Amino acid sequence: MCGITGWISYDNDLTGRRATLEAMTATMARRGPDAAGIWLGTHAALGHRRLAVIDIEGGTQPMAVEHDGRTLVVTTYSGEVYNYRELREELTRLGHTFRTSSDTEVVLHAYLQWGEGFAERLNGMYAFALWDPRSEQLLLIRDRMGIKPLYYYPTSDGVLFGSEPKAILAHPSVRPTVDAEGLAELITFTKTPGHAVYKGMYEVRPGHIVRVGRGGLTIKRYWALTAREHTDDRDTTVAQIRALLDDIVARQLIADVPLCTLLSGGLDSSAITALSAKALAAEGSGPVRSFAVDFTGYTENFTPDDLRGTPDGPYAHALAEHVRSDHRDIVLDTADLMDPAHRAAVLAARDLPNGFGDGDTSLYLLFKAVREQSTVALSGESADEVFGGYRWFHDPEAVHADTFPWIAAGLSGRFAGSNSTRQALLDRALLDKLDLRGYQARRYREALAEVPYLDGDTGLQRRMREISYLHLTRFVQILLDRKDRASMAVGLEVRVPFCDHRLVDYVFNTPWSLKTFDGREKSLLRAATRDVLPDLVADRVKSPYPSTQDPRYSEMLRDRLRDLTADRTAPVRPLLDAGATAEATADGADNDIRPGAELVLGIDAWLRTTGTSLEL
């Protein structure tokens, strides 16, 4: 998977700036624990940290193609191209020769053969930089769905870039600064494409190429969701989805290192695990290895709420038994979730205090345990966005609200097992200045303006096309970024089969009436995979990623918030509402403060550890 970084400077000779590149590259060490590499040219310096997955011996980076002693192109590359074998065969027929078995070398030769249009031929998850010394041009390229992150920071004579903001912030000329718009982006659940929160920094948008040359920087889109007529009937649609899933899973099971699946017992992860077991059995290997997260006493003491009706454990075990997977539960307790070292590791991985609380910490600890036995994991992430699985897809009030549906459904609090809000403890004057409602409204209008329609789209079908587009271009980015950071912080590569652009494009254009033909969420996915699932799992109602219900967790948050408000040097103090925090931390207080406390504690730790300044 790997971590990448680099520096382009047309006014300087970078061959003597190794120390700076080494410092930037070192920030990516957790993303790539297996090896480090640097390539220095006059105006380009590329850094790489490697997580070896394909061609362990030959895939070292940065990697270059040379001819007659001259470098034609060099790359620092993160990700996987799942169709690299077919591309390699095609390029070989066209006269290219290869010295490794890696997909990285295929990417280099594909660029030499087809120019920057080669990105349209790639199937995979990737974020990489290509430097062409002949034209002195840099290309920053990100996969269609934005599975792998890539940030950039334009300078007066070039650009800095990295897999994560921390790589760019390690450059001596960059100071971590967040203005009012950045703070609004941080607090809201909007995830604006291209927005990096830090002032002057941007994220390469999914499906885009950023081209950097002596004349400046330009941006090109090479893939977008488009509206097309869906003419397949129900049976054909179900069969096509299953055929795509079989192909996708088979491709994503290719690795030269131990591989597993992440299994929650929900429809999405169960389908991936079952299809993986089937594919491995067909090639005479297996069993599939699977992992699930659980909390001490969670199943025994589970209390249903309006978001989670059932605990995961019994369903994960039923699926594991059904496919005979080599299964292990990763059981966490409240002390694990509140351990300052674990919370600090999550913040360091995320670069920003996103406030998911125990959801972030438990994911990080799950991945840390998985990494002890596997290097690659397949996940069911993104099926809800593709097939319409979230409850607010089926809530008329949320669907027809004049904002993002997950905001209308109050997800910012409910994700953390609460009905409170993230901004509950923030200063009222600050919130007025940030104008979060206005910010959300602007971002919502921008998103709606992008939606592609068919002439026949009217009424509910038109609105559900909008809802689908919002999730596939905004909401999914929140969860993909969370999963990437938590997994790469421990050197685990997580693959997301449901983000294959062929599947996304096909289902996006399937009418809403077909997506809900049995009156339930994710009708098409259930129908396409029912034959490999036990009925108990196939018929389970959607339940999101688990959140601890242990009351001690909220009490620990309250204690830490109490300590913070007593600390007059706490950098977050100017942002707080004194009355709200006093009420939340009063003796005997029993109000639910989790989302607000998580955000405040996170912002304080972030400001303390990163030296970020707020320009409000």
Tokens of 473: 């271009």
Instruction: Please tell me whether residue 167 adopts helix, strand or coil conformation.
Output: helix
499 as an active site residue: the answer is: no
Distance between alpha carbon 188 and the CA centroid of its chain, in Å? Answer: 17
Determine the angle formed by the axes of helices 234-252 and 267-282, rounding to 10 degrees.
70
Strand partners, 128: 77, 141
User: Would you state the structure tokens that stand for residue 21, as one six-digit string?
Assistant: 């590149």
Edge-to-edge strand list for the sheet holding 63-67: 63-67, 70-81, 124-132, 137-142, 208-213, 216-221
Query: Exposed, middle or buried, 158 (CB in 10 Å: 0-12/13-18/19+)?
Result: buried
Using CA atoms of 92, 96, 99, 103 in order, give the dihedral in degrees to the nearest 10. Answer: -70
Looking only at Cα atoms, what is the longest distance across the chain? 77
First-to-last CA distance in the chain? Answer: 37
Residue 322 three-state SS: helix
Quick check: 155 and 174 in contact, CB under 8 A? no
Query: Containing H/E element for 158?
Result: strand 158-162
**Cis omega (within 30 of 0) for bond into 396:** no
How many CA atoms are closer than 13 Å to the CA of 176, on its beta-carbon side? 18
63-67 and 124-132 beta bridge pairing? unpaired
- Residue 495: strand pairing partners: 378
- Among residues 170, 176, 175, the alpha carbon closest in space to that of 23 is found at 170
195 beta partners: 202
Q: Of residues 1, 2, 129, 507, which has the active-site annotation?
A: 2
Q: Which residues are catalytic?
A: 2
